[in-house]
Structure 1
Amino acid sequence: MMEKLVGRGQKKRLHSNDEPRRSPRKKIKAETDEMIKEEDGDASGEFSRPIPWKKIEAEGLDCDYALLFSKEEADTLFQQLEEELVYSTGEQAQVQVFGKVYNIPRKQATYGDAGVTYTYSGVTRVASPWTPTLRNIRDKVTNTTGRIFNFVLINRYKDGRDHMGEHRDDERELDPLWPIASVSLGATRDFIFRHRDARGKQSNRRIQPVKLELANGSLLLMNPPTNSMWYHSLPIRKKVIRPRINLTFRRIKLINEPKS
């Protein structure tokens, strides 16, 4: 059975043998022995936490999830991005998989600091300058997490038929010690993690996938070593009719940059 982090407004018990809680918390459900737990919203841990965070953990998986923006803020940001963003076309809107070229099943754009490039699936993408709205979102993410990001990959899904296949973000340009910060605006979509040793019919381990619902205005922080151990995907959901914009903020290593 697949683990699931329940979405906005749902309240479910974690484990009956949980230790007594120091203060009231929202509750989430874990359907296997691997942990999905929630942490207090006070400032503690490796970065300041001014908003309530849910901790998501499994073998080699370490994520933090929170609602970064209210619905009103998220809706406003979505509309601003609809006016500001310019999406890739032509070869920049394609990927190479095992030597074959495919059109990306969604719209895509890249923005970031001057001179930053990112190569994946056989295509090198040059970052366009930050727009005002992207800069505001980036700064909010940085202030919340204590991490600085120099690049954002943006995917726009027109409805539930647009999707993202199972993959890992393991390109050489990415700083392996840095988290990837994923901001979701628009329609809520399922997001599935699958352990690298539990994929396909020939997999040698039985590790349950982890399923999340990424809500409007949410932030998912994928901490190391998550991207080296787990694949992730955004599957087709035909009943979803609203669009969604997802922004994944990353730290790209620069030439001659000191090791972090």
Structure 2
Amino acid sequence: MEKFVILGQNKRSCNSDAATRKKIKRGKDDRIKEEEEKNAEEDEDEFSHPVPWQKIEAEGLDCDYVLLFSKEEADHLFKQLEEEVVYSTGEEAKVQVFGKVYDIPRKQATYGDTGLTYTYSGVTRLACPWTPTLEYIRDAVTKVTGQTFNFVLVNRYKDGQDHMGEHRDDEKELDPLSPIASVSLGAARDFIFRHRDARGKQSCRQIEPVKLELAHGSLLLMNPPTNTFWYHSLPVRKKVLIPRINLTFRRILLSDEDKPRHDVQECTVQTGQKSSG
């Protein structure tokens, strides 16, 4: 977040007109300074001193990165999420890849507006109601980006052994004009983008991957058309020994037919019992 710079007063000659102009200018500067200090205090109440945005660009890749929360606030939010979020278990903790079913190498949960569903990796999941902490983080992201989100996918990595393979967030339910906002809490982890034309042995182009380290309390905004051209992954890092929670806020398209369904994976409420949806 940018800080305004208060310009210092210019030296003037000691005649009456100059003195009058100086007095008027000082009064204006004092009022401007007072107003800016008031605005700064209001910003500090809502956020924890975000640093300026960093632009990350490549061919077809457009991302913005910022440290949204201070360490103290990020520590607090991580602790709250550990208490509030209930992760999928059993069949809900599996994914289907090329017709085969695998255990997810991390914990997952889905939260969002009432009745929303999201289909990925062959499974459709119903959003659980927002928790207070998820709502707080969502609103902070909206405030700093100007974007609204109605769904969040929560991934918890117990350590560097938990990971996420290469994929694109390009499901048909997602608003193609909306960015995906990724908030990271806990262990800093490498995050790698790879262009779709430069993947595997059959790659047809030489395009260097883009590697980032997502810090504790950070926000990565993946703007269109990033998820059209670039895959992303969170690879294994054996030296990482502490957990990480990642929140990817999304905007799911709504229609007149949107309503709770009973043929999807049901959300799990905080008691650990399945909700009827």
- Which of structures 1 and 2 has the bigger CA Rg? 2
Q: Kindly report which structure 2 residues correspond to 1:1-260, keeping only aligned pairs within 5 A, or say none.
A: 51-256=51-256
Q: Which runs of 5+ in 2 are unaligned?
A: 6-49, 258-277
Shift in Å, 1:203: 0.3
Shift in Å, 1:256: 3.5
For 2:175 and 2:55, the matched residues in 1 are separated by 22
SS at match of 2:65: strand
For 2:241 and 2:51, the matched residues in 1 are separated by 30
TM-score where L is the length of structure 2: 0.74
Q: Which amino acid aligns with 1:124?
A: T
Q: Which runs of 5+ in 1 are unaligned?
A: 1-22, 24-49
- Partner deviation per Cα, 1:105-127 (whole Å, 9 max, x = no partner): 00000000001100011111100
For 2:92 and 2:170, the matched residues in 1 are separated by 19
Runs of 4 or more, structure 1, over 6 Å off, are none
For 1:83 and 1:203, the matched residues in 2 are separated by 44
For 1:72 and 1:256, the matched residues in 2 are separated by 43
For 1:120 and 1:163, the matched residues in 2 are separated by 17
Shift in Å, 1:78: 0.2
- Partner deviation per Cα, 1:59-93 (whole Å, 9 max, x = no partner): 00000000000000000000000000000012211
For 2:70 and 2:238, the matched residues in 1 are separated by 26
Shift in Å, 1:51: 4.2
- Partner deviation per Cα, 1:20-44 (whole Å, 9 max, x = no partner): xxx9xxxxxxxxxxxxxxxxxxxxx
For 2:67 and 2:240, the matched residues in 1 are separated by 20
Residue-pair matches, total = 210
SS at match of 1:253: coil
For 1:168 and 1:158, the matched residues in 2 are separated by 23
Structure number having the greater helix percentage: 2
For 1:108 and 1:115, the matched residues in 2 are separated by 18
SS at match of 1:87: coil
TM-score where L is the length of structure 1: 0.79
SS at match of 1:129: coil
Q: Which amino acid aligns with 1:166?
A: E
